[in-house]
């Protein structure tokens, strides 16, 4: 049996050859070493004897193509505004097969993906997408905002398999993909067929989404070539540029040109998405915004600063002082977070006041502190690229006094006495008993400085948790 890493490297090396057709991919599902690697990646440890027997049976079912994915068990998880959203939970057996498919598809396709595609890829994230926007959208006059809502549930199965068939000439492999697409799901023990979209909670769903929308990326590259006029010496009305960044179903286009240019791009995109990818966007899902006003992308507000004014032919800025693109924390985001967590109450006169959280009172002190720290760090970590990230000091002030009031409510005392009891060298400190002895934990007090560029991170954010959680 061939080493999986060697197989994947071989697939990746052939991806560089235009027009190369992949054949005999399915036979890799007879390779036990692939399943052992997949099991370790999913579970974090090697399989036991019982799991090894299951893998042997699974390989046999692959050989005679009797394997059939189970319907995904769909459970409801809290969504925005008190709604519920479906969350798919595949079986372990299906996860193993999907992980092998994911590894192969990623090896085949990742090098051909656009540099402007940031979702679910190694060393890429929401932050790398936002950083590209900040660095490249200088001088932009118009934004075209695109948000393909329910994208994972909209993908056309026929279109997707045809796209895969352009590079993969292996009917057994494609049949297996079709099985996952059509496996359906269970909700309240009732079976539902799936006619579109990728498997709920599926490990292969992210890479399939990138393969699908890579068609959009390539189309925009061609659109950009026809749109661009580079000569800065010609009249301003003829100098045009188009910039583009995408994360999963969310994309942002920057236009240097007229509003009619932006409208033309929007109309061409809408037609392409409908005719070629069978995706329809409503007016709310793709809109045009002047860059003086904020466009929303991945939970951030995006604007182009106009502090410097210059001749029209230069794009509106003085020489050496371009119109810079900047990222901002939207006010409603951190306000909404405070309200949702129960840390803030707003009086009828509009005055803000921190509030104790009765849902936390029964927890021990360390668990209460950990809850506040996780929420503070999570919001800051996601918005640390924003020019106005220091505004989170206001968020922090409310959270801090909400913590004081929560502990005061727990011990039936005052916030002043709580501060006096827990403050050590002006840092709020809690003592915790752990299995390794007594430890101390402190309330987050490291400030909210802006980070210009995201730190290196080799993890793939297979679910855009931060963006979707904060943006919706």
Give percent above pLDDT 90 in the chain: 71
Inform me whether the pLDDT recorded for 309 exceeds 60: no
% the chain with pLDDT above 70: 83
Q: Residue 51 region, left (φ>0) first, then alpha (ψ -120 to 50), else beta?
A: alpha
Helix, strand, coil share (%) of the chain residues, nearest 5: 45, 20, 35
DSSP H or E stretch at residue 130: helix 126-136
Q: What is the pLDDT of residues 374-405, one digit of tens each?
A: 999 999 999 999 999 999 999 999 999 999 99
pLDDT score for 452: 81
More confident residue, 142 or 80: 142
- For the segment 353-357, the average pLDDT, to the nearest whole number, is 96
Nearest one of 256, 367, 241 to 304, comparing CA atoms: 256
At 311, the pLDDT band (50, 70, 90 cuts) reads very low
For residue 81, the model assigns a pLDDT of 45
Is a pLDDT exceeding 50 seen at residue 319?
A: no
Paired strand residues for 354: 344
Q: Which two tokens stand for residue 240?
A: 């045009």
pLDDT at 314: 40
- Is the per-residue pLDDT at 72 higher than 80? no
Q: Which of 171-185, 326-340, 362-376 has the lowest mean pLDDT?
A: 171-185
- The full set of domains in the chain, from first to last, is 4-111+157-195 (no CATH), 115-155+200-306+321-328 (3.30.70.270), 331-442 (no CATH)
Closest by alpha carbon to 249, among 274, 212, 289?
212
Give residue 80's pLDDT.
46
What's the pLDDT tens digit per position in 208-241?
999 999 999 999 999 999 887 766 555 455 689 9
98-114 confidence digits (pLDDT tens) = 999 999 999 999 999 99
CA atoms within 13 A on the CB side of 305: 13
The pLDDT value recorded for residue 229 is 74
pLDDT of 464 > 60? The answer is: no
pLDDT for the residue numbered 184? 58
Q: Which stretches does DSSP call E strand in 397-445?
A: 423-424, 427-434, 437-442
Instruction: Tell me: pLDDT of 471 over 70.
Output: no
pLDDT score recorded for residue 454: 72
Closest CA to 353 of 338, 372, 368: 338
Most distant CA pair in the chain: distance in Å?
74
Is residue 17 very low, low, confident or very high in pLDDT (cuts 50, 70, 90)? Answer: confident
Q: Report yes or no: 307 and 299 within 8 Å, Cβ to Cβ.
A: no
pTM across the whole model? 0.87
In which band, very low, low, confident or very high, does the pLDDT at 266 lie, cut at 50, 70 and 90? very high
Exposed, middle or buried: residue 42 (CB in 10 Å: 0-12, 13-18, 19+)?
A: middle
Give the span between the Cα atoms of 175 and 68, in whole angstroms: 11
* 1 — pLDDT class (breaks 50, 70, 90): confident
Predicted local confidence at residue 122, as pLDDT: 87
Residue 423 has pLDDT above 50, yes or no: yes
What local confidence, expressed as pLDDT, does residue 215 receive? 97
- Output phi, psi for 136, to 5 deg: -105, -15
């Amino acid at each position: 049996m061939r080493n999986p890493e060697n197989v994947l490297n071989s697939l990746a090396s052939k991806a560089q050859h235009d027009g190369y057709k992949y054949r005999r991919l399915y036979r890799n599902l007879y390779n036990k070493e692939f399943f052992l690697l997949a099991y370790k990646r999913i579970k974090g440890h090697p399989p036991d004897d019982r799991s090894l027997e299951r893998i042997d049976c699974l390989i046999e079912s692959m050989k005679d193509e009797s394997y059939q994915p189970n319907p995904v068990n769909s459970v409801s998880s809290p969504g925005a505004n008190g709604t519920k959203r479906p969350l798919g939970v595949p079986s372990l057996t299906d996860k193993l097969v999907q992980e092998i498919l994911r590894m192969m598809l990623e090896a085949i396709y990742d090098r051909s993906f656009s540099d402007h595609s940031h979702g679910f890829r190694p060393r890429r994230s929401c932050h790398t997408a936002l950083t590209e926007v900040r660095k490249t959208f200088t001088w932009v006059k118009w934004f075209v905002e695109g948000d393909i809502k329910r994208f994972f549930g909209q993908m056309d199965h026929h279109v997707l398999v045809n796209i895969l068939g352009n590079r993969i000439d292996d009917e057994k492999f494609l049949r297996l993909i079709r099985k996952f697409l059509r496996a359906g799901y269970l909700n309240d023990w009732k079976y539902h067929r799936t006619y579109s979209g990728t498997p709920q909670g599926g490990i292969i769903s992210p890479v399939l989404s990138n393969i699908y929308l890579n068609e959009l990326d390539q189309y925009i590259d061609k659109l950009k070539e026809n749109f661009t006029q580079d000569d800065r010496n010609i009249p301003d009305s003829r100098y045009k540029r188009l910039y583009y960044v995408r994360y999963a179903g969310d994309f942002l286009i920057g236009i240097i040109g007229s509003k009619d240019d932006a409208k033309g791009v929007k109309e061409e995109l809408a037609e392409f998405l409908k005719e070629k990818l069978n995706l329809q966007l409503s007016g709310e899902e793709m809109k045009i915004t002047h860059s003086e006003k904020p466009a929303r992308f991945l939970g951030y507000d995006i604007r182009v600063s106009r502090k410097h004014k210059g001749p029209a032919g230069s794009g509106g800025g003085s020489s050496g002082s371009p119109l810079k693109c900047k990222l901002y924390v939207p006010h409603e985001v951190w306000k909404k977070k405070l309200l949702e967590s129960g840390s803030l109450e707003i009086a009828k006169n509009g005055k803000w006041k921190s509030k104790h959280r009765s849902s936390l009172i029964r927890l021990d002190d360390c668990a209460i502190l950990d809850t506040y720290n996780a929420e503070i760090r999570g919001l800051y970590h996601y918005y640390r690229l924003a020019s106005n990230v220091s505004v989170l000091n206001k968020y922090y002030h409310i959270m801090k006094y909400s913590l004081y009031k929560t502990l005061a409510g727990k011990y039936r005392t005052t916030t002043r006495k709580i501060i006096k009891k827990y403050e050590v060298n002006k840092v709020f400190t809690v003592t915790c008993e752990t299995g390794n002895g007594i430890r101390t934990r402190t309330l987050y007090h490291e400030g909210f400085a802006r980070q210009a560029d995201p730190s290196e991170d080799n993890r793939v954010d297979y679910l855009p948790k931060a963006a979707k959680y904060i943006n919706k």
